[in-house]
Amino acid sequence: MNYNQSQQRVQDLKRFYKNILWFGIVAFIIYFDDIFEKGIFNISQWNGSIILAIWGIILTVKAVKLFLLDSQWEKNVIEKEMRKSKEPIKF
C-alpha cells in the first residue's frame, strides 16, 4: 500500500468514525426525546427508528467495504484469478 492509498484509507476511517459518532448522538436524542414525551414504559419503537434503521444499514455497508473489502482483499482476489489463467503474472 503506497502513501496515497494509506492517506485515503485514513480519511475514510476518519469519516466512518465521525458517522458512527453522529449516529450515536442522533439515536441518543431520539431515544431520550421519546422517554421525556411518553415516559419510560410507553416508548414508541417506530418514532424515528426508520431513519436510524436506514442510517444503520448505510453504516453497515460502509463498514463492510472499509474493513472486509479493503485493498489486501482485492489483491488476494486478483492473485487468485490470475492463478486460474494459463499464464500467471507475478506481482
Q: What is the pLDDT of residue 25?
A: 94
> Residue 48's pLDDT is what?
64
Domain boundaries, given as residue ranges, for the chain: 3-84
pLDDT of residue 74 exceeding 90: no
Nearest to 5 by CA among 76, 72, 91: 72
Give the C-alpha separation, 31 to 24, whole Å.
10
- What is the pTM for the complete model shown? 0.66
Distance (Å) of CA 32 to CA 26, 27, 43, 60:
10, 9, 9, 24
Q: Has residue 9 got a pLDDT over 60?
A: yes
Better pLDDT: 8 or 25: 25
Q: Is 83 exposed, middle or buried (0-12, 13-18, 19+ CB in 10 A)?
A: exposed
Pull the grid cell for residue 79.
Answer: 492473485
- Residue 53 to residue 33: CA distance in whole angstroms: 17
For residue range 15-73, what is the model confidence (pLDDT) as tens digits?
999 999 999 999 888 877 777 776 665 555 555 678 888 899 999 999 998 888 877 77
Helix H or strand E encompassing 39? none
